[in-house]
Structure 1
Amino acid sequence: MRFHPLSVLSALAFAPLSGLATHFESHWDDLREKHTWNSIPENWQNMGHPPADTTIDLHIALKAKNENALIDALIEVSSPGHPKHGEHLSREEVAELVAPPSDVLELANAWLEHHGVHPSTISTKHGGSWLTLMGVPVSRANELLRASYQLYQHVETNDTVLRTLSYRLPAALVEHVQNVAPTTHFGFPRTPRQEPLMHRGRATTEQTKVLGGEPGTVLSSRDQDVTPSSLRSFYKTSRYVPLAAGWNMLGVAGYNDDWPSPDDLRHFMNHYRFDATDATYRLVQIKGGGYSPNNPTNEANVNIQYTSAIAYPTTNIFYSTGGSETVGDPFINWLNHVLGLLSVPQTVSTPYGMPEHTVPPDYATHVCNLFAQLGARGVSVLFSTGNDGVGRGNCLVQDSSGNSRVQFTPNFPSTCAYGPWVTSVGGTTGYNPEIAASLSGGGFSVHFPRPSYQNNVVPTFLLNLGGQYDGLYNPGGRGVPDIALQAMNFPIVFKNELWEVSGTSASTPTAAGIISLLNDYRISNGRPPLGFLNVLLYGICLEGLNDITSGSNPGCNTDGFSAVPGWDPVTGLGSLDFERLVAILSRW
């Protein structure tokens, strides 16, 4: 435990925390900076102060009494050969591992009480590591955090958020708090910028024979549609019949008023998966998440249509998650809900993200640690790496001094975290050979260091890269993606019309569908689900992947990185071969 080097704290450095709440009552105004932006983050504009009666929900994340306990447990249950491999933890076991010291929880509650936050408005979850303050007046939030909450609007999307450019915490607490949200994190989860939708016509049953999807179809050129049957044939899942559909679940996360249409899903299956026309999904609405099935989005449709088409009849759950200027951060709202469940989906597809440099480090660490909790409970979480190659536009970012420089910009949370705790999915195109899709996001994290299991593959790539792009990326950072699958020319049904989409928001649900089938195989044979994937992918499952050795991901006015033999920051380790992976996993 670290103490702030104030004289008052130094004097108590070796004293128990019990009773510190009373001692520090007169020191609550001794504040220390937690995070500050030097200027308004890019693409946001200040819209002024909110109305006087505005309230906000605040989430306070406290650090665990043993910050390594969860990480150690996750690595143990995820590592083949370890005695605890596959012994995923329960909700209560995870909560115990992440619980803060009881005296720190007492201290935090005393601080809140000092500022007039009534205990009845505080919800304590996840072993006390997560305090949620409901309906806090903005004036009180400003006093509590020495903040200046104002309304900000995104110049491109018109999203409006209630945020502050800085916040502070009492010196007695600052080292014990991981993050407070929403504060200085401005970004909303965004789907990758897709290639423009291409209209294909009405989704009438008379078009089925023309628009394809016949069983056994495979890709023969880079210009043909990538239908579910071609994906199932190419990645070798077409002969597998799921047997654990009643126990195995596949979650699809939706944000920003994204939700699918059951009618579009039915029409899609009538075209492209004739044996699955009764496919459906279960809808869960979280924190104000909406649902109007007659007004779906193409993003939600491509997700649910391809997870369903690959993994049918596996149970699909679509999470419509809210997030606004007052009800908090969408990622945290979703994680708070799922981590509170007794039974969690074994696989989750999340094709959302944001440029990592726009995310405060304390927020990023907090969110990634929450995904680590899911991994410890046996959940395989997949995130897309985006559709901007190594970065969008000229890639000018501001450093801590406010100076601008060019920097490759990978997407968060695909860069999560110390482990990292999610599997990132890039894009490919073509068949025989499969090559990198030029839009495939990839690169190296600035926030998070390279995980140990990448040490066998990433240094080889960097050695061969030589000095190219020195200064534009962090060679010691976590490399993304981990894997890559088909990302171009996906037909979907959208409002009863046939369209074509491209992007890693298509490759990610495809990958999630295949992983869900692997989980089905494991569960139906009395074995635990895969859980956190990356230790497996970089280890025993490496021989079950198709290496991609050509193509590149240009961006930032450069040619980007190139796909090469072995791992690369365009296609990762390659694409999935279901049958080879089943053969490997049958031995574990």
Structure 2
Amino acid sequence: MRSFLPFVVLGLGLLATAGPALSPRILHEKRTHVPAGWTLKRRHDPSTPIPLRFALTQKNINDVGKYLMEVSHPDSELYGKHWSAGDVLKTFAPSDETIEAVRSWLLEGGVESDRIQLTQNKGWIEVAATVEEAERLLQTEYNLYSHTSGKEHVACDAYHLPVHVAPHVDFVTPSIHFDAKLTRRDSTQPAHSIGQPGPGIGPKTTGKLQAQLPSDTSTCNEYITLDCLRALYGLEYTPNATGSNSYGIVEYTPQAYLQTDLNMFFGNFSPSQNGTSPYLVSIDGGYAQTEYQGFEYNGESDLDLQYAMGLLGPSQTVTLYQVGDIVEGASFNNFLDALDGSYCTFEGGDDPSQDAIYPDPYGGGYEGPEACGTVTPANVISTSYSYDEADLSVFYATRQCAEYAKLGLMGVTILYSSGDYGVAGNGGLCLNPDGSQSTNGTMFNPTFPASCPYITSVGATMIPPNSTVYDPETACEEVIYSGGGFSNYFTIPSYQQSAVDSYLTNYYPSYPTNIWNATGSRAYPDISANGANYLVAIDGGFELVYGTSCSSPVSGAILTMVNDARIAAGKSTIGFINPTIYSSQFAGVFTDITTGDNPGCGTNGFNATVGWDPVTGLGTPNLPKLLQAWSALP
């Protein structure tokens, strides 16, 4: 696999032989615009304290793709020989050289040693500085920005590092980043942060069901139920290794399920599960809150759990990772920190400019210790939340993407929904030439983590009107459009090179290359599953729900069945599946979707075609074929 950070690799060539005092400065990061909702307030006071944090580059990180391919590609002799957390820690911890390079530069820059702290996990160097000192060290100017919510944020437009230090630093905070988590200090409203369902994020609904609940599969084109999915994807499977298998669903407070909704759903569609609950794992004070109710608070979690639990049946426990309290909320990094102690070590823990901080520094929220290595990751983890790539800096996104690669090394399958706005970003936002996002932008806006090459991105299909479960599905074009396209941040991984080359050779898009990335980048989604007309019990009634939020947990349940069969046979979990599913051994295992498109940004988007396409990926799962193909692997 190609490195996903080619520009960082090139940066190593800038290493100077001159001493630190002679080392010239180079631009490290630059922001092109101020994100929507933020306005410049004033120049920051030079005497104000500022907590500088330097994210240290990780040893061997540019080889993470190679290592992952070794344990994930079916042709490899090391297939399925997953790493332990200790193996990952030992391989990727920042080197002593990196730590010393940054520390020496700070000392030579006039920072006393007692103000320079290496975090316990060696992921960050923290400096207690003033704004004036930070501006001198980074050759920048800090400003104070205000948000329409009333929050304030400190940021600069660009910053510079010595040429000999730059290869050892991923990014600095606070700096150009505006992907800050907006915490709630107003007790009248629950938290919403980037990555959580807010305007334009999360499943969609057309409202309460007015008709009678279906009793068979004859109306699956109008109402998707557990039986419809079983018929579509051959999901007749009796688990045999439930005690050793695991499936995790991630939710971010205030998103929470209602037990009464689970009871209503199971009472109608899976009576043997009536009264059952997921196994709840609280992360940073997360809990199934009931203070706030309604589709915007219960829709996602109710959907995920009813279909994940319902498809797997009563013998397989589903783990609910409930992340963040209702005051501070949480980010993806808060969740990743909790999965295993090694993640805190690799990534340096929480970043106060981007992630929720626990114990709650303001009071009123969760005041226990931050979750760090408190949770062992499930074999399969599904998340139906997302950012847009443009919400994040390249360094922040690539650093998080590396975390997903490390999970794959440990045998974990990570699924993310691909988005519901076709080639546009969340809420239908598209990119403008200056890098900003707006509803009238014309440039395609990829979603993240769907565009990370180390996760499996799941798009959405649907049963066409007047069709049955035995007819071909099409790309979802009802209420939502399957997210898909080409990353602006990540290069194309080797595992999908052939599939994407075939698409671009036979179905090259007719759009000008200045509105989509035609330079050979990571393409998504990888697979798809039905994402339309789901019957979900929400707040005491059934609603029709749409979105890749449906597709991801259903795909995760199916892959959990595959893991069950492999574990029962004494084999490893499937782990990172992309190199396998794109391989020749899996040709024809997924049902190809060849009709439909994914409009956005004033275009019809891309087309679903024969073979892989940036609308439905390789297609929809067929469990019998998946079981047969994976059973043939060691």
TM-score range, shorter chain: 0.7 to 0.9
Structure 2 unaligned blocks of 5 or more:
1-8, 180-193, 342-372, 464-468
Give, in whole Å, the separation in 1 of the partners of 2:103 and 2:325.
Answer: 26
Give, in whole Å, the separation in 2 of the partners of 1:242 and 1:178.
Answer: 44
2:422 is matched with which residue: 389, 401, 419? 389
Q: Find out whether 1:271 has 2:280 as its counterpart.
A: no
Give, in whole Å, the separation in 1 of the partners of 2:242 and 2:153.
Answer: 42
Local SS of the residue matching 2:593:
coil
1:464 is matched with which residue: 506, 509, 513? 506
Q: Find out whether 1:244 has 2:241 as its counterpart.
A: yes
**Cα offset, 1:413, TM superposition:** 1.0
Partner amino acid, structure 1, of 2:526: D
Please list, as runs of the form range in 1=range in 2, the aligned pairs for 1:70-109 lying within 5 A after superposition: 70-109=64-103
Partner amino acid, structure 2, of 1:199: K
- 2:187 match: none
**Cα offset, 1:474, TM superposition:** 1.3
Change (3 A) 1:373 1:54: farther
Change (3 A) 1:378 1:141: farther
1:572 is matched with which residue: 588, 613, 617? 617
**Deviates most, 164-173 or 92-101:** 164-173
User: Deviations 1:134-173 (Å, cap 9, x if unpaired)?
Assistant: 99998987787656364543x6xx5957352445364243
Give, in whole Å, the separation in 2 of the partners of 1:402 and 1:426.
Answer: 22
Give, in whole Å, the separation in 2 of the partners of 1:27 and 1:287.
Answer: 45
- 1:474 match: 517
Give the conservation status (yes or no) of the 8 Å contact 1:40–1:165.
Answer: no
Question: How many residue pairs were aligned?
Answer: 551
Give the conservation status (yes or no) of the 8 Å contact 1:181–1:328.
Answer: no
Q: Find out whether 1:284 has 2:281 as its counterpart.
A: yes
**Cα offset, 1:408, TM superposition:** 1.1
Change (3 A) 1:11 1:58: closer
Local SS of the residue matching 2:36:
coil
Give, in whole Å, the separation in 1 of the partners of 2:400 and 2:26.
Answer: 22
Local SS of the residue matching 2:74:
coil
Please list, as runs of the form range in 1=range in 2, the aligned pairs for 1:357-372 lying within 5 A after superposition: 357-372=390-405
Partner amino acid, structure 2, of 1:447: Y
**Cα offset, 1:343, TM superposition:** 3.1
Give the conservation status (yes or no) of the 8 Å contact 2:224–2:533.
Answer: yes
**Deviates most, 566-575 or 451-460:** 451-460
Give, in whole Å, the separation in 1 of the partners of 2:127 and 2:304.
Answer: 32
TM-score w.r.t. length of structure 1: 0.83
- 2:124 match: 131
- 1:199 match: 208
Give the conservation status (yes or no) of the 8 Å contact 2:29–2:159.
Answer: yes
Give the conservation status (yes or no) of the 8 Å contact 2:253–2:330.
Answer: no
Structure 1 unaligned blocks of 5 or more:
13-23, 202-206
- 2:586 match: 541
Give, in whole Å, the separation in 1 of the partners of 2:603 and 2:38.
Answer: 26
Give the conservation status (yes or no) of the 8 Å contact 1:488–1:503.
Answer: yes
Give, in whole Å, the separation in 2 of the partners of 1:85 and 1:56.
Answer: 47
Local SS of the residue matching 1:544:
coil
Local SS of the residue matching 1:455:
helix
Give, in whole Å, the separation in 2 of the partners of 1:60 and 1:181.
Answer: 7
Partner amino acid, structure 2, of 1:507: S
Give, in whole Å, the separation in 1 of the partners of 2:281 and 2:135.
Answer: 33
- 2:475 match: 436
**Cα offset, 1:465, TM superposition:** 2.8
- 1:407 match: 443
- 1:15 match: none
- 1:314 match: 316
Q: Find out whether 1:258 has 2:255 as its counterpart.
A: yes
Change (3 A) 1:221 1:37: same
**Cα offset, 1:477, TM superposition:** 1.5
Give, in whole Å, the separation in 2 of the partners of 1:518 and 1:132.
Answer: 43
Give, in whole Å, the separation in 1 of the partners of 2:300 and 2:63.
Answer: 37
**Deviates most, 375-384 or 487-496:** 487-496
Give, in whole Å, the separation in 2 of the partners of 1:515 and 1:406.
Answer: 37
Please list, as runs of the form range in 1=range in 2, the aligned pairs for 1:325-364 lying within 5 A after superposition: 330-340=331-341, 341=373, 343-364=376-397
- 2:195 match: 189
Give the conservation status (yes or no) of the 8 Å contact 1:351–1:504.
Answer: yes
Please list, as runs of the form range in 1=range in 2, the aligned pairs for 1:297-312 lying within 5 A after superposition: 297-312=298-313
**Deviates most, 467-476 or 101-110:** 101-110
**Deviates most, 67-76 or 477-486:** 67-76
Give, in whole Å, the separation in 2 of the partners of 1:34 and 1:488.
Answer: 44
Give, in whole Å, the separation in 2 of the partners of 1:304 and 1:147.
Answer: 47
Q: Find out whether 1:451 has 2:496 as its counterpart.
A: no
**Cα offset, 1:112, TM superposition:** 6.9
2:571 is matched with which residue: 514, 527, 545? 527
Q: Find out whether 1:178 has 2:170 as its counterpart.
A: yes
Partner amino acid, structure 1, of 2:301: A
Give, in whole Å, the separation in 2 of the partners of 1:468 and 1:76.
Answer: 37
**Cα offset, 1:562, TM superposition:** 1.2
**Cα offset, 1:270, TM superposition:** 1.4
Change (3 A) 1:4 1:235: closer
- RMSD over aligned Cα atoms: 3.6
Give, in whole Å, the separation in 2 of the partners of 1:211 and 1:55.
Answer: 61
**Cα offset, 1:90, TM superposition:** 0.6
**Cα offset, 1:426, TM superposition:** 0.6
Give the conservation status (yes or no) of the 8 Å contact 1:160–1:324.
Answer: no
Change (3 A) 1:288 1:394: closer
Give, in whole Å, the separation in 1 of the partners of 2:126 and 2:276.
Answer: 40
User: Deviations 1:163-206 (Å, cap 9, x if unpaired)?
Assistant: 524453642432111234564343411444543341137xxxxx
Change (3 A) 1:574 1:168: same
- 1:427 match: 460
Partner amino acid, structure 2, of 1:514: I
**Cα offset, 1:466, TM superposition:** 3.7
Give, in whole Å, the separation in 2 of the partners of 1:57 and 1:348.
Answer: 34
Give the conservation status (yes or no) of the 8 Å contact 2:429–2:441.
Answer: no
